[in-house]
């Protein structure tokens, strides 16, 4: 049963525990001499690699949008991204892809990347039995492949609900887990100004979490439209997360026609 305490839901607390566990393990590893390990331990990506693609100073930000596709909000968002020649990664819900395959196709044709965001977006995802977690991942994968002909290579757990089991099963499916470093918190429908201000906190290497489904996203679209030129004016460029990048290395791809700010 979900419980709430001081505005925090049990889902949020569970997610925070897992994120803290990950950050503590990274801190411990940084202070401990490297030892040989029996195998690579999968972990979510919270930030783009500190090593930028060759020949660039690394001024990339990854815009990500969760919970779509949505027939009301995804098309106008795609139009905003097109007008500003910005690319993004959409973590899509399998059921929504089944309902609106043509929108998933439009995302791909526009040059954006698709990621797996489970089949039904269940709450307390990490608390599900392993077979349910595996099904949620695989069924979403199948839905995207049927709709677009492309297999996602990225995975984001609902609400950042990571656990060792979730990470292991995503890894077994050949998917790179992706988290975020900036959450604009548009999931609780704040004013557009709040979302805009949160996006403007972006720095090189940030992965920004927004949503194009799961509720009224008019404020998100308004904020994105204002934030894109403001971020580019600060010398930032936008990248899609195109494929798995082990050891937190990024395969960065600029959207077709994106004016380069990296030579300035």
| Catalytic annotation, residues | 66, 211
Task: Tell me the HSE value of 59 on the side-chain side, using a 13 A CA sphere.
Answer: 14
| Spatial separation of the C-alpha atoms in residues 113 and 153, rounded to whole Å | 9
Q: Whose structure tokens read 């700010």?
A: 261
Please give the C-alpha separations between residue 170 and each of 157, 175, 200, in angstroms, as whole numbers. 9, 5, 31
Q: Collapsing DSSP states into helix, strand and coil, what is residue 111?
A: coil
Task: Tell me the HSE value of 232 on the side-chain side, using a 13 A CA sphere.
Answer: 17
Query: Which DSSP letter does residue 254 get?
Result: P
Dihedral sign for Cα atoms in the order 17, 20, 24, 30: positive
Dihedral sign for Cα atoms in the order 204, 208, 143, 177: positive
């Amino acid at each position: 049963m979900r419980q709430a305490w001081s505005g925090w839901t049990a889902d949020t607390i569970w997610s925070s525990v897992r994120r803290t566990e990950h950050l503590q393990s990274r801190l411990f590893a940084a202070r401990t001499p490297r030892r040989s390990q029996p195998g690579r331990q999968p972990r979510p990506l919270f930030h783009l690699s500190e090593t930028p693609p060759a020949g660039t100073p690394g001024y990339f930000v990854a815009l990500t949008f969760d919970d779509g596709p949505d027939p009301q909000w995804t098309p106008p968002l795609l139009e905003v991204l097109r007008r500003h020649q910005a690319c993004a990664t959409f973590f899509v819900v399998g059921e929504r892809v089944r309902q609106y395959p043509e929108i998933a196709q439009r995302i791909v044709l526009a040059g954006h990347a698709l990621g797996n965001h489970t089949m039904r977006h269940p709450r307390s995802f990490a608390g599900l039995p392993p077979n349910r977690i595996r099904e949620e991942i695989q069924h979403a994968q199948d839905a995207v492949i049927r709709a677009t002909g492309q297999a996602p290579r990225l995975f984001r757990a609902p609400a950042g609900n990571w656990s060792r089991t979730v990470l292991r099963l995503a890894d077994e499916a050949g998917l790179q887990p992706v988290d975020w470093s900036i959450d604009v918190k548009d999931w609780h429908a704040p004013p557009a100004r709040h979302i805009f201000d949160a996006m403007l906190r972006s720095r090189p290497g940030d992965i920004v979490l927004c949503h194009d489904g799961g509720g009224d996203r008019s404020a998100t679209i308004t904020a994105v439209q204002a934030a894109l030129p403001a971020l580019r004016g600060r010398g930032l460029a936008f990248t899609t997360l195109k494929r798995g990048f082990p050891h937190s290395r990024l395969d960065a791809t600029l959207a077709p026609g994106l004016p380069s700010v990296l030579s300035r």
